[in-house]
Amino acid sequence: MSQRRFIASILCSCFLLLSLMPLNLLAAEVGPRQQLEISINRLLDVLRDESLKGEEKKELRREHIAEVVFLQFDMRQMAKLSLGRDWNDLSEAECRRFTELFKALLKESYVATIDGYANEKISYVKEIINGSKAEVQTKVISPSREIPLSYKLLEDAGRWLVYDVIIENVSLVRNYRSQFGPIMRKDGFTGLLAQMEKKIAQAGEKKDG
Amino acid sequence: MRNVRLNREFLVVFILTGILVFAAFLFVPQNCRAETALTNAHQDEFSEYDEKVEGSLDDPLEIFNRAIFTFNDRLHRWVVEPTARGYRKVTPSMFRTGLLNFFNNLLEPTRIINLLLQGRFKAAEETFLRFLLNTTAGVGGLMDPAGFDGMKSHERQFASTLATYGCGRGFYLVLPFFGPNDLRGTCGLAGDTLTSPLFYTLSHDPLAAVGVQASNAINRTSFQLGEYEKMLSGAIDPYVAVRDAYRQHQQKLLGR
């Protein structure tokens, strides 16, 4: 067999085999960036929804934002990393309670922050994939400035879920860990839960008042 | 006969290539996984967020800092933010942008000097041209024609010059009015002040200097209304949240 024919048959076989590849293998190739983009586009739809605009519809709008955004978040992992190694000593019920309160806190800070991004444009800067971890860097562009916003994601059975958000170089998880650490050492886990509950109640009062 | 032989050869190549392609798909990812598992063996998933020694910043004056932080916090919530809110309502956005550009333009000489001190001549040249263009064509810096031309501002202050010369950060310090800083940054502020054109035009009249700084602060705040409150609305300990945000921000800026 001539060399040219040999190469041709290899190429031919490769092509045939690739075309026979099961479709789900290709579907798994939908990377972190694309999955995140779908979630962000849904968020932008909510932010730009005329029926949800205005100060008086703030509560309803933020409910919608939280629903869309948290779908792409691995809340338990976020809560876990924010608490640090003390997580390993918690019972399952305590883990759940902590995650629940952590989610409520994020609703106050993170959801409120992105609620202001209605007129901004999002540009995707970079996607870094390292095994089952990834970082997607974006920029929130408004007429007066640019805010760098990155997401850290973890793969779980083909689904990429966010476990940290970095706004203007500040990691949310790191920021919470720096707060939780000293409180855990001083007041213990029960003390931390009490302070979280107090903060959430305070934010609730402000809304009613 | 020749055709039959060819077909058989083709079949052998086809099968071999098939095995190779599947082997690649089956083994390569597993190998990667095994490798990452190996490198992660001596650390756990929390390690990613362990405080790095180089980045840590002591806070020996925490009690003092907390007091100043509370003062700044009240000042911002009760005075600066409401004033900026009212100011925004009665001022056209063009005026506010103009003032923002004007104050930004006055910082360029400081940036140029520091870029030169750090040996970044290309960036210094760009900043110098920017300053020249904006001061002339931009009517004393009110407009930013250089920005339209894609000329970037290079943020450099004396604190970063001290850092390039190997000066350590000292410790965390909350300054009244100015907010979070560190010892090195506070020393740098003195250098920044001495190179600011504002200092030389206003040094004979301290009251006017305070007025100018205050209007700058209020104008700046009018572009980020509510952001401070939102940022801290989910914080359990706002003092620690701000200190950590400052550390992380500085690490990123100086790490470059």
Could you tell me which residues come within 8 angstroms of residue A25 by beta carbon, excluding any fewer than 6 positions away? B25
Higher pLDDT, A85 or A23: A85
No. of helices (H) and no. of strands (E), chain B:
13, 2
Answer whether residue B25 shows pLDDT above 50: no
Interatomic CA distance for residues B249 and B256, integer angstroms: 11
**Looking at CA atoms only, how far is residue B205 from chain A in angstroms?**
32
Confidence of residue B151 (pLDDT cuts 50, 70, 90): confident
Token representation of residue A97: 């309670």
Task: Give pLDDT, residue A79.
Answer: 96
Task: Give pLDDT, residue B110.
Answer: 92
Interatomic CA distance for residues A50 and A19, integer angstroms: 46
Answer whether residue B53 shows pLDDT above 70: no
CA dihedral of residues B196, B197, B198, B201 (deg, nearest 10): 140
Task: Give pLDDT, residue A185.
Answer: 92
Instruction: Mark yes or no for CB contact B223/A17 under 8 Å.
Output: no
> Are the C-beta atoms of residues A76 and A95 closer than 8 Å to each other?
yes
> Are the C-beta atoms of residues B120 and B143 closer than 8 Å to each other?
no
Average pLDDT value for residue range B236-256 = 85
- Percentage of chain B modeled with pLDDT above 70: 80
Instruction: Mark yes or no for CB contact B234/A109 under 8 Å.
Output: yes
Confidence of residue A94 (pLDDT cuts 50, 70, 90): very high
Residue of A nearest to B52 (CA): A174
Bridge pairing between strands B172-175 and B179-182 = antiparallel
Instruction: Mark yes or no for CB contact A170/B249 under 8 Å.
Output: yes
> Are the C-beta atoms of residues A46 and B8 closer than 8 Å to each other?
no
Instruction: Mark yes or no for CB contact B9/A173 under 8 Å.
Output: no
B72-89 pLDDT, tens digit each: 999 999 999 999 999 999
**Measured distance between the N- and C-terminal CA atoms of chain A, rounded to whole angstroms:** 86
Task: Give pLDDT, residue B54.
Answer: 46
- Residue A136's H or E segment, with its range, is strand A133-141
- Which residues of chain B are at the A interface, by a Cβ-Cβ cutoff of 8 Å? 6, 9-10, 13-14, 17-18, 21, 25, 32-33, 36, 44-46, 48-49, 51, 97, 100, 223, 226-227, 230-237, 240-241, 243-245, 248-249, 251-253
Determine whether B23 is exposed, middle or buried from the number of CB atoms within 10 Å of its CB (0-12, 13-18, 19+): exposed
* Amino acid in the structure at residue A134: A
Task: Give pLDDT, residue B27.
Answer: 43
Instruction: Give the ipTM.
Output: 0.80
Cβ contacts of B77-84, under 8 Å, gap ≥ 24? B77/B228, B77/B229, B80/B217, B80/B218, B80/B221, B81/B221, B81/B225, B81/B226, B81/B228, B81/B229, B83/B218, B84/B218, B84/B219, B84/B221, B84/B222, B84/B225
pTM confidence score: 0.78
Q: Which of A126-130, A143-147, B54-58 has the lowest mean pLDDT?
A: B54-58
Answer whether residue B255 shows pLDDT above 70: no
Average pLDDT value for residue range B154-183 = 89
Instruction: Mark yes or no for CB contact B223/A178 under 8 Å.
Output: no
**Looking at CA atoms only, how far is residue A77 from chain B in angstroms?**
10
Residue environment code for B81-101, b if the CB has 16+ CB neighbours within 10 A, otherwise e? bebbeeebeeeeeeebbbbbb
A166-203 pLDDT, tens digit each: 998 999 999 999 999 999 999 999 999 999 999 999 88
DSSP calls for A145-157: -EEEEEEEEEEET
CA distances from A10 to A16, A20, B70, B158 (A): 10, 15, 73, 63
Which of chain A's residues have a Cβ under 8 Å away from the Cβ of B17?
10, 13-14, 17
Average pLDDT value for residue range A13-42 = 71
Higher pLDDT, B56 or A129: A129
Higher pLDDT, A33 or B12: A33
Alpha-helical segments (H) within chain A: 3-19, 23-27, 32-48, 58-70, 75-83, 92-114, 172-208
Instruction: Mark yes or no for CB contact B248/A131 under 8 Å.
Output: no
Interatomic CA distance for residues A157 and A159, integer angstroms: 6
Confidence of residue B202 (pLDDT cuts 50, 70, 90): confident
Answer whether residue A96 shows pLDDT above 90: yes
> Are the C-beta atoms of residues B77 and B229 closer than 8 Å to each other?
yes
Q: Among partner residues B6, B44, B234, which is closest to A1 by beta-carbon distance?
A: B6
- Percentage of chain A modeled with pLDDT above 70: 88
Higher pLDDT, B37 or B23: B23
Instruction: Mark yes or no for CB contact A13/B17 under 8 Å.
Output: yes
* Amino acid in the structure at residue A160: W
Task: Give pLDDT, residue B166.
Answer: 87
Interatomic CA distance for residues B141 and B98, integer angstroms: 8
* Amino acid in the structure at residue A118: A
Number of A to B CB contacts under 8 A, please give it.
111
B60-75 pLDDT, tens digit each: 999 999 999 999 999 9
Task: Give pLDDT, residue B35.
Answer: 37
Task: Give pLDDT, residue A166.
Answer: 94
Q: Which of A12-16, A35-39, B23-27 has the lowest mean pLDDT?
A: B23-27
CA dihedral of residues B89, B93, B94, B95 (deg, nearest 10): 40
Instruction: Mark yes or no for CB contact B13/A6 under 8 Å.
Output: yes
A31-82 pLDDT, tens digit each: 899 999 999 999 999 988 888 888 888 888 999 999 999 999 999 999 999 9
**Looking at CA atoms only, how far is residue A81 from chain B in angstroms?**
6
Token representation of residue A195: 């302070």
Could you tell me which residues come within 8 angstroms of residue A82 by beta carbon, excluding any fewer than 6 positions away? A102, A172, A173, A176, A177, A180
Task: Give pLDDT, residue A29.
Answer: 66
Token representation of residue A132: 């089952």
Task: Give pLDDT, residue B29.
Answer: 40
Q: Among partner residues A108, A112, A170, which is closest to B248 by beta-carbon distance?
A: A170
**Looking at CA atoms only, how far is residue A54 from chain B in angstroms?**
15
Confidence of residue B96 (pLDDT cuts 50, 70, 90): very high
Residue of A nearest to B19 (CA): A17
**Dihedrals phi, psi of A20, to nearest 5 degrees:** -90, -5
Could you tell me which residues come within 8 angstroms of residue A136 by beta carbon, excluding any fewer than 6 positions away? A32, A33, A36, A124, A126, A127, A128, A150, A151, A153
